[in-house]
Amino acid sequence: MDVSRRIVLHFPPRVTGQPVVYRLAKDFDLSFNIIKASVSPGEEGLLVMELSGDQENYDKGMQYLTETGVKIQSLSQDVVRDEAQCTHCGACITICPSGAFSLEPKTRKVLFDHSKCVVCGLCVKACPPRAMRLYF
Amino acid sequence: MSKTIAEINEKIKRGKAVVLTAVEVIDLAKEKGISKAAEEIDVVTTGTFSPMCSSGVFLNIGHSKPRIKLGGGEVYLNDVPVYTGLAAVDIFLGATAIPEDDPRNRFYPGEFNYGGGHVIEELVAGKDVKLVATAYGTDCYPRKKLETWINLKDINNAILFNVRNASQNYEVGVNLSDRMLYTYMGVLKPNLGNANYCTSGELSPLLNDPYYKTIGIGTRVFFGGGVGYVAWHGTQHNPDVSRTANGVPKEPAGALSLIGDLKQMKPEWLVGTSMLGYGCTLTVGIGVPIPILSEELLRYTMVSDAEIFAPIIDYSEAYPQGKPDILGEVSYAELKSGHIEVQGKDVPTSSLSSYPKAVEIANILKDWIKKGEFLLTEPVAPLPGAESGITLKPLKERPITE
């Protein structure tokens, strides 16, 4: 069975020099989408990513991370669009720093690519009909 | 070739009218040739769905027992203050009104999550709205306090009367400063970080009838999901502006004042809106039918985004200080491409006006007409054109020295 989860990883300074994400992909066949990253050698690092793959491999990957000393949290915040409230004006498009909004070329409807969202929340208050919601 | 509105209405009643949206007409009329197309096409429908601040509703809530004179008193609907300077139980709720305890911009930028526009949306949605009133009491209206739920279906009248809607063209907002700006044109990022525009372009009502040859006082329109009428020219109606060869104004020009019964409108087309750091407003859906009485009128409706230009204005200096400077002109085709060039810089664009909703409105109006449910009206009087001498005047300030 396949799973896909959005997680927050905290790296202690000694781990930031290791190719952890490469190992997740290579050894456990997990595909990753990095949402947010702040990793500097010698300092505590932070990585927010969506990780998907086979449930068994996912569990093994998590075990590997724990053994390496990485602290794992599930992503506790999420930005969701209230589809009924969205008027498709497009005010969000240039506000989003990660390009999560785009226009469907033919209809000019606003598409929201959840996987590109870095949960910064800028769109929430900039949306005129308040269709974007930040969940904790 | 010439047709009359009466002839078109006969075809509408028989279910034979040929109706196209202002987008569909562009290619079809080119394909068929103007003269043939003008004979065949009866009506072109337009649409727009944008924040429109000069919107509001007159309500008559009915008389309580004992009676209360709200006129001259204080009234709140869901904590939003309404205007009471009218007869005993007539009140006016404006789209931009906000509760007295709203922090405004004290915590900058203010969020403006709830205001008059939101109350209007809730009324139309059939929700109960809390009315709290205090009055001074008279011999004939003795009551001084009133707290009650009201509902749109129970009150006598609810007249949506918007004194300025459906602007004919609009500015493109940018920010030349180094800080974020929170404006009625949306959030404008520093150093030309984005450019915001706000009309539906080739679908916009007054851009398809640039000289107001068919749209006049009394024109029946799609208004907030129901039927409304053009009541007057809108405030700040400014017909005498520079125009392209096809008559389309290159800056904000005409506007419509619209009226209609709120009770037959729909919340989907009257949406309470919050502009970060600016205030509350109402996003209004409007669609105007244009009868194709001649080839000339057909040509106007064939206007495309590439032929409509808007001025680019800096909202850090030129707009707030009332300076006439513009940073250039761009076509709606460029704006809708997602990027424009301003001062040599590639600037991403966003719209505050919903194009998909404008298309939907034009299609709904088209369906109403095709089904024979919506007949066209002959204007009672035309909207003032450039010859009227009407101009947009700034405030002439005169210091009060006493």
Mean pLDDT, 10 residues at a time, chain B of 402 residues: 93 98 97 97 98 98 98 98 98 98 97 98 98 98 98 98 97 98 98 97 98 98 98 98 96 97 98 98 98 98 98 98 97 97 98 98 98 97 96 95 84
Residues whose CB is less than 8 angstroms from the CB of residue B152 and which lie 6 or more positions away in sequence, other chains included:
B123, B124, B126, B158, B262, B263
Catalytic residue among B53, B140, B198, B280: B140
- Tell me the chain A residues in contact with residue B194 when contact means C-beta distances shorter than 8 Å: 94-95
CB contact under 8 A, B273 and A128: yes
Please report the DSSP string for A64-103 in residue order.
HHHHHT-EEEE---EEEE-TTT-----TTTTT-TT--EEE
Please, what are the domains in chain A?
2-74 (3.30.70.260), 78-135 (3.30.70.20)
Of A48-52, A121-125, B143-147, B280-284, the poorest mean pLDDT is in A48-52
Between the alpha carbon of residue B388 and those of residues B151, B206, B240, B265, B384, the distances in Å are 43, 17, 9, 34, 6
Chain A contact probe: residue of B194, B351, B357 with most A CBs at under 10 A: B351
Please report the DSSP string for B153-208 in residue order.
TTSSEEEEEEEEES-SS--EEE--SSS-EEETTEEE-TTTT-EEE-S-GGG-GGGS
Q: Measured between CA atoms, how close is A84 to chain B, in angstroms?
A: 9
Task: Examine the pLDDT at A75 and tell me if it is beyond 80.
Answer: no
Please report the DSSP string for B252-264 in residue order.
S---EEEEEEGGG
Please report the DSSP string for B24-38 in residue order.
HHHHHHHHH-HHHHH
- Nearest residue of A to residue B354, measured between CA atoms: A89
Structure pTM? 0.90
